[in-house]
Copies of this chain bind each other. A is one copy, B any other.
Amino acid sequence: MRDVAINGERQWARLMDLARLGAIPGDGVNRACLTALDREARRLVIGWATAIGATVTIDAAANLWLRREGSDPTAAPVLTGSHMDSQPAGGRFDGIYGVIAGLEAITALHDAGIVTRRPIEVVGWTNEEGSRFAPGCMGSMAWSGFAPLSTWDEVRDPEGIRFADALAEHLAVEADLPCRTLGSNKPHAYVEAHIEQGPLLEAAGDDIGIVTGIQGSRWFRVTLTGASAHAGTAPVKLRRDAVQDMVRAVAALNVLMDDPDDVLRFTVGRIVVEPNSSNSVAGRVTFSIDCRHPRRDVLLARGDAVAATIRAAVNDCDVAVEEVFHAMPVTFDPLVVEAVAASCAGYRSMRLASGAFHDAQFAAGVAPSGMIFVPSRDGISHNPAEYSSPAQLAAGTRVLARTLLALAS
- Chain B residues with Cβ below 8 Å from A279 are 87, 129-131, 136, 219, 267, 269, 290, 382
In the bound complex, CA of A245 to CA of B100 (Å): 38
- A228-B383, A236-B259, A251-B247 given; A271·B269 CB < 8 A: no
Max count, chain B CB within 10 A of own CB: residue among A136, A198, A243, A267 = A267
Does A275 count as interface, using CB distance less than 8 angstroms? yes
Q: Give a binary string over A261-281; 1 marks a CB under 8 Å from any B CB, 0 the rest.
A: 010111111111111111111
- Chain B residues with Cβ below 8 Å from A380 are 229
- Chain B residues with Cβ below 8 Å from A289 are 278
Max count, chain B CB within 10 A of own CB: residue among A230, A237, A259, A272 = A230
B269:A282 contact, CB within 8 angstroms = yes
Interface of A toward B, CB cutoff 8 Å: 87-89, 129-131, 134, 136, 196-198, 215, 217, 219, 221, 227-237, 241, 243-244, 247, 250-251, 254, 259, 262, 264-283, 288-290, 292, 354-357, 379-383
- A233-B356, A234-B265 given; A134·B278 CB < 8 A: yes
Among B227, B233, B243, B276, point to the contact of A355 (Cβ < 8 A). B233
- Chain B residues with Cβ below 8 Å from A235 are 262, 265
Among B217, B227, B268, point to the contact of A243 (Cβ < 8 A). B268
Closest to A290 in B: B231
Max count, chain B CB within 10 A of own CB: residue among A129, A271, A289, A380 = A271
- A277-B88, A280-B87, A280-B382 given; A243·B229 CB < 8 A: no
